[in-house]
Amino acid sequence: MLNFLHRWRALWDPNRYHGWGRRRNYFEGWYFKIVDPTERYAFAIIPGISMDQDGNRHAFIQVLDGKQCTAAYHNFPAEAFLPASTHFEVQLGPNRFSDGKMELELSELRGKLHLKHISPWPRMLGAPGIMGWYSFVPFMECYHGVVSLNHRLEGRLQVYGKEVDFTGGKGYIEKDWGQSFPSSWIWAQCNHFGGESKISLSASVARIPWVGSHFIGYIVGFLLRGRLYRFATYTGASMRATLGDNEVFLAFRDKKHRLEIVAHKKGGTGQLVSPLSGNMVGKVNESLQATLEVKLFKGGQLLYSGEGRHAGLEVAGPAEELLTAEWRR
């Protein structure tokens, strides 16, 4: 009964842990991106829990070094994974994660960062998070959440033994939970646009299983000077998507606005581990060196045009099944 209550409360607060009472075929993980103010260091730190089909469980912390294009997987016993029941906070051994701070005791990264002025995805009646009413569908393969689109970092970390001041840097937090990642997806994220501090983009397109069939789902949030422009399957928006040799083109529109994104693949990638039926055996290559050209229109009026750097970019699985040169819902 207590596990049911914890899961029910988490339904209305996507940031916190959802796996109460789960023992198999389940994963949950949070993605913390940090970039220092000099922009010489860019990392993604991913704490989480894995439970395979046979009930074998372990916890983990993945570390993606976006500059060196390397990734490390730190394995922990499942008993070391200690989530809070009333809010988002996770302890993994000496490592702690929340929407207010991050404490790390890893071979690559050691120290504490405070996360200031977070920009959460707004909650609305019937839409507790980025997935809208899909948050309440009980049979989804994978659920997604955005904890903070943009925030400021304060503190220092030992990076490979060298002290680095991250104060004034930028961060981003999202999460996923469920059984498996989709069979294919395109994901792009950035919050380094020119000299402006309050611009952030998170966009994902994926193949979603649905009652014996599937659909192409998309969720996009563009935070521009305090206003969040949302485009999603559940908002009635439509999309276009094409792939080139070294670029990805995404476009989304609703009755008032149109968002165009051209992601340029630059630099190398690091290989992260992804879940399949709860087991961390999949592979996905992620770059933190991509650039994004972004344009936002209201009708025929250009509201914003800019280029983002240190962008996260993933193109995974048979992405051709996601593409459409024509507008579609």
Q: Which residues on neighbouring strands pair with residue 301, listed in sequence order? A: 298
Whole-prediction pTM: 0.97
Cβ atoms of residues 107 and 163 within 8 Å: no
**pLDDT means per 10 residues in the chain (329 residues)?**
88 96 97 98 98 98 98 98 97 97 98 97 88 92 97 98 98 98 97 87 96 92 95 96 96 97 95 97 97 97 96 97 94
Which is nearest to 232 in space by CA: 122, 124, 134? 134
Would residue 21 count as lying in a domain?
no
Q: How far is it, in rounded angstroms, from Cα 259 to Cα 257?
A: 7
Which pLDDT score, from 0 to 100, does residue 2 have?
Answer: 87
Residue 233 lies in a domain: yes
Indicate whether 20 belongs to any domain. Answer: no
For residue 212, what pLDDT is reported? 83
Q: What is the CATH number of the domain that holds 119?
A: 2.40.370.10
292 domain residue, yes or no: yes
**Does residue 22 lie in a domain region?**
no
Contact 50, 279 (CB under 8 A): yes
Distance CA 160, CA 107 (A): 7
Return all residues near 190 (Cβ < 8 A) that are at least 6 apart: 200, 201, 290, 292, 308, 309, 310, 311, 312
Tell me which residue range forms the domain holding 88: 2-14+27-328
Q: Is 45 inside a domain boundary? A: yes
Six token digits for residue 137: 């569908």
- Dist CA 147 CA 133 (whole Å): 17
Tell me how crowded residue 115 is: count the other CB atoms within 10 A of its CB.
22
In a domain, 19, yes or no: no
**Centroid of chain to Cα 175:** 5
What does the pLDDT read at residue 55? 96
Alpha carbon 289 to chain centroid, angstroms: 16
The pLDDT of residue 229 is 97
pLDDT value for 17: 98
Over residues 19-49, the pLDDT tens digits come to 999 999 999 999 999 999 999 999 999 999 9
Pair of tokens at residue 92: 């993994």
Residue 243 located in a structural domain: yes
Residue range 247-290, pLDDT digits in tens = 999 999 999 999 999 999 999 999 999 999 999 999 999 999 99
Instruction: Domain count for the chain, please give it.
Output: 1
Q: 264 burial class (0-12, 13-18, 19+ CB within 10 angstroms)?
A: middle
